[in-house]
Amino acid sequence: MRWEVARELDRAHGLPRLSVFETLYRNPTWEAIERGRGDRLAWLAGAHRTLEERAGRPLPPLHEEWRAAQRPIEPNLELARALGGSYKLSILSNADLTLRARLEREMQIHHLFDDIVCSAEVGMAKPERGIYTIAARRLGVAPAECVFVDDLDTNVEAARSVGMQAVLFRTDKGDDLRQQLAAIGVTPR
C-alpha cells in the first residue's frame, strides 16, 4: 500500500486522517468484495459517497487516484528477482477480482511469482487463518517453511499464528525489506 499517497490525498482535500483508506476498506461492502461477493462498482460508488459525506462537499475520484498510485516498489521487485531462483515466491493479497489482470497487464510483475492467492478467488481474506495455509499448500511447503511479509500488523500476527515467520514491512516508515529478510536468514543465494 502506498500509505503516503493516501495521507497526501487526505491532507490535500482537508479530510480526516485515513479517510481515503477507511472509506474503501473498513466497511462490510469491502469485506464481501474481497471475498469474491458483491458488486465492485457499487462498492466504489458507496466508498466515494462516504468520502464526500466526511468532506461535506463533492470531491474528485480520490479512490481512483490512490489506486492508480499503487505500483510496485522497485527495490522490492529487484529483491523478488534475486530471491526467485532460490525460493518459491507468492503474492497473498486481499483484493477484488481485478488483481490478476492488474498484476499481468498494468504492473507486469506476475511472472516473478510462483503463485498468486487472491482473497476474492478463494473466498476468504487475511487475517483469516485458512488463507495462509492455502498459500503455503499451493506452494507445496509447510507454513513453518514460509516467511510472510505484510504492511498490517494484524495480518503479520495471523501468519505467525499458523506457524509462519512474518515481517511487518512499511515503506512509509522507511523499512528496508532486504535487511528485514536478511535478519531472519532469507538472502539471495
pLDDT at 3: 83
Q: 142 and 78, same structural domain?
A: yes
Q: 93 and 57, same structural domain?
A: no
In the listed set 53, 68, 83, which residue is the last one of a domain according to the structure?
Answer: 68
Report how far residue 17's alpha carbon sits from residue 36's, in angstroms, rounded to the nearest whole number. 28
Q: 143 and 113, same structural domain?
A: yes
Q: 132 and 96, same structural domain?
A: yes
pLDDT at 59: 97
Q: Would you write out the chain's pLDDT as a tens digit for each of its 189 residues? A: 678 889 999 999 999 999 999 999 999 999 999 999 999 999 999 999 999 999 999 999 999 998 888 888 899 999 999 999 899 999 999 999 999 999 999 899 999 999 999 999 999 999 999 999 999 999 999 999 999 999 999 999 999 999 999 999 998 889 999 999 999 999 998
Cell of residue 63, nine digits: 479512490
In the listed set 25, 45, 68, which residue is the last one of a domain according to the structure?
Answer: 68
Residue 188 included in any domain: no
C-alpha distance from residue 181 to each of 83, 95, 149, 175, 176 (Å): 11, 24, 9, 11, 9
Residue 189 included in any domain: no
Q: 78 and 64, same structural domain?
A: no
pLDDT at 101: 95
pLDDT at 73: 84
Domain encompassing residue 42: 3-68
pLDDT at 166: 98
The answer to whether the bond into 127 is cis (omega within 30° of 0) is: yes
pLDDT at 189: 83
Q: 149 and 89, same structural domain?
A: yes
Q: For the chain, how many structural domains are there in total?
A: 2
In the listed set 68, 98, 114, which residue is the last one of a domain according to the structure?
Answer: 68
pLDDT at 2: 78
Q: 99 and 22, same structural domain?
A: no
